[in-house]
Structure 1
């Protein structure tokens, strides 16, 4: 993430979302929710039909500056307020006359009334930055209207559904940005009111790092590796070789651990090659007492043993110290060895904490099965009775949802992100639902993100009603007095 475009005193980790509001959702509902003082999470709930999912989609599209998606969503205005005093707002301007006839790649666009969006960004007490944008004047929405490509998700990859080709946003800029600029120039001065989103607004939005986790978490895409060429991949939906999400995540953790092993190997070679020289320069100097050194050795032996369960480090996990007192040279040498070993093991520290938490959470849920992660096989599930392997795709939908969601939060979300989770109760047992918020809180504390949960389930909310906001009309308005009394 490029932090150069942000306020000098406020980085993405310091800027926290404190409230969100969307008015005119589905043409009639005004919704707002706030984060408590701690700022970690918020819950929204309410009856079907009040637009809980739509609120999350509006926030996601606004923070990702997806103009086409925003125009397609049913709302009048939306505003996000942040802890540093900044505010980002979008307002729909309906029924704007199109004064000219455009031709995009030879396809005429007839004059018609259309919706436009007005963006405002406030930073503290400064005058707001403004942009008024139509679907055609924004490059991302131009791509969706004038090219066959559609955004796959929030990762910056776009797909041509006609042939399955996937390109990065950067590739599309190289291919189409000059055409887009030429088109805007050709529209002339009478369309100056519809320009691209101001760079300052777009840069602010990009700094927010917002992620929406939707209900369809098990859907996968297939990858034809032979089609890779200059960082391009061909993805095909619903093909016989379709790769479920849980398999893709298993491959992802294998790749991540392989990268850690490679980095560890390079670091090990560097440290080992210079160890004799550094030892001679150090001499018999030692900061630790013998007792402290032996305690540190025991702690490090435990770390090595845990890591060798996951990755082949080519080290003996149970190295032992000689009995009897150690002289000054031995203390100095062993202390330097421990310092080097700490540096080597630290290359796995971040991923190991996430692996430990994933295994702990998931293994508290699985019935008569255990999840284990290693560098050779990725995600491995075995039966506790006999240790036999269970194919990942043979797990129940609830088990897969749990693993996929927790993996996603631990390994695919960045520090400082805002994560929105839609209906996490899908396929989850009531007992799992009751533990959900507490589990995600543990993950958010480790990774460092805020999250919003939209749910129908009182079990998901459980003991966290203080953090919950009900969206929609009063129960008496929605159900009628008799039914509302029964519901209460």
Structure 2
């Protein structure tokens, strides 16, 4: 997957031209500038483009944009002024082109369905509505409102068509990209962290509730606590399946081996045994394993050949069983470390039930009792380490919200650690010089006439 290395946007908010370079191999770039310069709109434009949601792109006020990638490909967006098939009298506004490293040029205009004339508009819309009702996992709650239970969002008809275009028949709707362009865009992993992150939508019991009361909301810290419990449960279930398979075949594999392999030396066995014991202790701290009191130490004597065979086979099996936890372990440890380094007079523990919060006297606290700044710190760290796909470009808008100045100064250090642990790249928009702190060499000013202005 190619990396995004440069963004150029022209006429943002009707007046600003900006260029932002994101050097390949660099963990993060910081954007700063006065209110109204377009930092948030720029992040929204990048996110909507790389999610293939061009209805959202069309709502961002800009004239054109170009995205350059590490493999030489260029994705361009331009306003065109063509008439829309679905919105008579309004402008189509958007043409997307992709110039690939192989030299191919692909162009697509939003709203155009090949072979469909404007007079066919009503019949096409009727057919699409029937396709949506038959094939798409959403519920219609009004004339042009649909509820998506996966995201707990209320969507318009066109938003449903765009979001679920891969389910609808080819060539049946105005948001279907050419295959090669669709494949290129879908390979780009981008994740947006918005300013409002302390509440999340949750699926209601019925769509009637959505129609009359709106989507249900709950504190994000509670939703993430439940999510962690789910992840632990899934990891334990996978570990149990692996353990059952390895334990069932252990006698057969042991008997068929004959003798210990040459690499199963006394030192190698003792080294692996110590490393696995240390790993189990780390896993026990976050309830991914129970610390067993039945584990026996290795004997203080030279191991016999048959003992080396048994122990080596056992250690091989243990490596496979523990591998189910390895990826989750590093992320969770860093998450807990970041959060507990910020909290005062309280401590966050993690177990199979989710998050457990304690005060300095060991008394249990509700996670919902955290201050808004503490919740922002917890939510952001969890989102980045547990919910963002590896290799993504993460867009963060105003991370300084509700954070103490000292926390703001530590923010980019945390981002660097997270980038290394989770293989992420970051584009951070901020008003805070404390967030930038000592990283001015990574900062781009979005101001007319500055180094951040477009070429």
3-state DSSP of counterpart to 1:296: helix
The answer as to 2:195 corresponding to 1:201 is no
- State the match for 1:466 in structure 2: 441
The answer as to 2:132 corresponding to 1:160 is no
How far has the Cα of 1:158 moved from its partner? Answer: 6.6
The answer as to 2:192 corresponding to 1:215 is no
3-state DSSP of counterpart to 2:298: coil
- State the match for 1:269 in structure 2: 244
Structure 2 counterparts to residues 413-428 of structure 1, below 5 A: 413-428=388-403
CA contact (8 A) 2:3 2:24 kept: no
Number of aligned residue pairs: give it: 425
C-alpha change, 1:222 and 1:414, in structure 2 (3 Å) is closer
- 2:5 equivalent among 11, 14, 18: 18
The answer as to 2:93 corresponding to 1:116 is yes
- State the match for 1:316 in structure 2: 292
- State the match for 1:29 in structure 2: 16
Query: Aligned partners of 1:173 and 1:449: how far apart in 2?
Result: 27
3-state DSSP of counterpart to 2:344: coil
- State the match for 1:296 in structure 2: 272
- State the match for 2:351 in structure 1: 374
How far has the Cα of 1:360 moved from its partner? Answer: 1.0
Query: Aligned partners of 1:69 and 1:21: how far apart in 2?
Result: 18
C-alpha change, 1:362 and 1:315, in structure 2 (3 Å) is closer
Query: Aligned partners of 2:327 and 2:236: how far apart in 1?
Result: 13
Q: List alignment gaps of at least 5 residues for structure 1.
A: 1-11, 185-194, 476-488
Kindly provide the CA deviation profile for residues 301-333 of structure 1, in whole angstroms up to 9, marking residues without a partner as x.
Answer: 111122223336466265422232221111221
C-alpha change, 1:313 and 1:168, in structure 2 (3 Å) is farther
- State the match for 2:326 in structure 1: 349
- 1:45 equivalent among 22, 32, 36: 32
Q: List alignment gaps of at least 5 residues for structure 2.
A: 117-123, 133-139, 451-455
How far has the Cα of 1:168 moved from its partner? Answer: 11
3-state DSSP of counterpart to 1:116: coil
- State the match for 1:192 in structure 2: none
- 1:58 equivalent among 45, 56, 59: 45
C-alpha change, 1:183 and 1:336, in structure 2 (3 Å) is closer
Query: Aligned partners of 1:161 and 1:333: how far apart in 2?
Result: 59
The answer as to 2:145 corresponding to 1:148 is yes
How far has the Cα of 1:277 moved from its partner? Answer: 1.4
Query: Aligned partners of 1:72 and 1:135: how far apart in 2?
Result: 18
3-state DSSP of counterpart to 2:299: coil
- State the match for 2:224 in structure 1: 249
- 2:105 equivalent among 115, 128, 135: 128
Query: Aligned partners of 2:67 and 2:162: how far apart in 1?
Result: 28
C-alpha change, 1:37 and 1:264, in structure 2 (3 Å) is closer
3-state DSSP of counterpart to 1:134: coil
Which stretch has the larger CA shift, 465-474 or 405-414? 465-474
How far has the Cα of 1:161 moved from its partner? Answer: 6.8
Query: Aligned partners of 1:237 and 1:470: how far apart in 2?
Result: 45
Off by >6 Å, runs of 4+ in structure 1: 135-146, 232-241
CA contact (8 A) 1:77 1:92 kept: yes
C-alpha change, 1:24 and 1:431, in structure 2 (3 Å) is same
The answer as to 2:69 corresponding to 1:85 is no
- State the match for 1:9 in structure 2: none
TM-score (norm 1): 0.79
Give me the CA root mean square deviation: 3.4
TM-score (norm 2): 0.84
3-state DSSP of counterpart to 1:149: strand
Which stretch has the larger CA shift, 195-204 or 336-345? 195-204
Query: Aligned partners of 2:264 and 2:212: how far apart in 1?
Result: 59
Query: Aligned partners of 2:209 and 2:185: how far apart in 1?
Result: 29
How far has the Cα of 1:221 moved from its partner? Answer: 2.2
- 1:455 equivalent among 430, 439, 442: 430
3-state DSSP of counterpart to 1:79: strand
Query: Aligned partners of 2:303 and 2:209: how far apart in 1?
Result: 61
How far has the Cα of 1:150 moved from its partner? Answer: 7.3
